[in-house]
């Protein structure tokens, strides 16, 4: 690719950052995707963006699929290509969008893991009065009470914590979208206790709700390590991570209420199809209950064993 072609990528990413307010994570992913497109074009000796056609895009996607890139990543890659060429169309640098009608190969959707209610209770009800334990108890309770993402929880400020005691917490989710969430009684009690102990390790000027040993805002990696630590200590034989508690929250809420739209709002999903994956988890639970309880299901199982 020539230097002029490279500059258009920089211009595109700058527009996403300043005008579209894309997150650093998304910008990094788009940049990586477009770098792979440049590498492909260089191998094909393509100098200008107007010379890229749909066969080139299809060939690159197929190549990455054979290399083991998953369906979700391929879809994001195509999305970045479509957005980039749409931008070039507006700027009159190309005459069509070669990625517009290309579809990513379909892959089976993996159901998220969840903890059952007994294991969630065992994980959250940790014992101890040490300041870090008090903090971790509040973190665990809040994760499961409100279904927060890791980034949403770690970015909370002390004022958010104080307001949450009234039963509502406001978080900043994906795409800088703000939403209000209910906070359960147990989580409110845990946060209130943490606030009474927070000054023991927090720097005086630190605004973060949750802080680490250095008195500054706790890092995401520290929260992840603490969850693994408590899971092991509590005898939970699973890989426990923050999003597992979010999955468990969603699954248990849907199982109890059956209200998909409400769960979508609580999770902050822009598309309800993202939330619908939890209906499959719920169906798996119902299937197990059916197999264990229905007389004909039991009879069928016995006949199968005899055969």
Active-site option among 22, 40, 144, 278: 278
What pLDDT does residue 300 have? 46
Active-site option among 93, 122, 243, 285: 243
- In contact, 244 and 232? CB cutoff 8 Å: no
- In contact, 212 and 162? CB cutoff 8 Å: no
285 part of the active site: no
Q: Determine the average pLDDT of the residues in 72-100.
A: 92
Provide CATH 1.10.150.130 ranges for the chain.
Answer: 3-90
Global pTM? Answer: 0.60
Q: Determine the average pLDDT of the residues in 137-143.
A: 96
177 part of the active site: no
For domain 117-241, give the CATH superfamily: Intergrase catalytic core (1.10.443.10)
243 part of the active site: yes
Of 53 and 274, which is predicted with more confidence?
53
Phi, psi dihedral angles at 299 (to 5 degrees) = -60, -45
C-alpha 123/C-alpha 102 separation (Å) is 45
Provide CATH 1.10.443.10 ranges for the chain.
Answer: 117-241
Q: What is the mean pLDDT of the chain?
A: 86
Q: Does the pLDDT value for residue 157 go beyond 80?
A: yes
What pLDDT does residue 92 have? 93
Of 296 and 126, which is predicted with more confidence?
126
Active-site option among 217, 226, 246, 247: 246
Active-site option among 86, 149, 197, 228: 149
- The tens digit of pLDDT for each residue in 246-300 reads 888 888 887 777 788 888 888 877 777 777 777 665 555 545 555 665 555 554 4
219 part of the active site: no
What pLDDT does residue 301 have? 45
Active-site option among 50, 86, 93, 174: 174
Active-site option among 15, 17, 163, 269: 269
What pLDDT does residue 202 have? 96
Element (H, E) at 260: helix 260-267
Q: Determine the average pLDDT of the residues in 185-190.
A: 95
C-alpha 186/C-alpha 173 separation (Å) is 23
What pLDDT does residue 258 have? 76
Of 147 and 192, which is predicted with more confidence?
192
Of 257 and 225, which is predicted with more confidence?
225
What pLDDT does residue 81 have? 95
290 part of the active site: no
What pLDDT does residue 272 have? 72
- Residues with Cβ within 8 Å of 11's Cβ and at least 6 positions away in sequence, in order, are none
246 part of the active site: yes
3-90: which CATH architecture?
Orthogonal Bundle (1.10)
Cα four-point dihedral sign 219, 30, 108, 252: positive
């Amino acid at each position: 690719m020539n230097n002029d072609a490279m500059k258009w990528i920089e211009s595109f990413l700058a527009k996403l950052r300043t005008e579209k307010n894309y997150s650093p994570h998304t910008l990094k992913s788009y940049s990586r995707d477009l770098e792979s497109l440049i590498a492909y074009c260089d191998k094909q000796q393509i100098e200008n963006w107007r010379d890229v056609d749909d066969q080139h895009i299809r060939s690159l996607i197929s190549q990455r699929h054979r290399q083991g890139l998953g369906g979700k990543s391929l879809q994001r890659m195509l999305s970045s290509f479509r957005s980039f060429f749409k931008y070039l169309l507006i700027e009159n640098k190309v005459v069509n969008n070669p990625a517009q009608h290309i579809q990513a190969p379909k892959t089976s959707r993996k159901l998220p893991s969840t903890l059952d209610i007994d294991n969630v209770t065992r994980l959250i009800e940790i014992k101890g009065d040490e300041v870090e334990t008090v903090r971790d108890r509040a973190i665990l309770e809040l994760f499961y009470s409100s279904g927060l993402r890791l980034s949403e929880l770690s970015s909370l400020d002390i004022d958010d914590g104080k307001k949450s005691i009234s039963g509502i917490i406001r978080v900043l989710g994906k795409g800088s979208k703000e939403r209000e969430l209910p906070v359960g009684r147990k989580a409110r009690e845990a946060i209130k206790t943490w606030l009474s102990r927070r000054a023991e390790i927090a720097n005086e000027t630190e605004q973060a709700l949750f802080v680490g040993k250095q008195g500054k805002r706790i890092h995401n990696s520290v929260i992840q390590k603490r969850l693994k630590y408590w899971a092991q200590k509590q005898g939970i034989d699973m890989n426990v991570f923050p999003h597992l508690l979010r999955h468990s929250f969603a699954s248990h809420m849907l199982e109890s209420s059956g209200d998909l739209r409400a769960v979508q709002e609580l999770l902050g999903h822009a598309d309800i199809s993202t939330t619908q994956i939890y209906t499959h988890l719920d169906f798996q639970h119902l299937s197990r209950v059916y197999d264990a309880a229905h007389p004909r299901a039991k009879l069928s199982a016995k006949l199968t064993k005899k055969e």
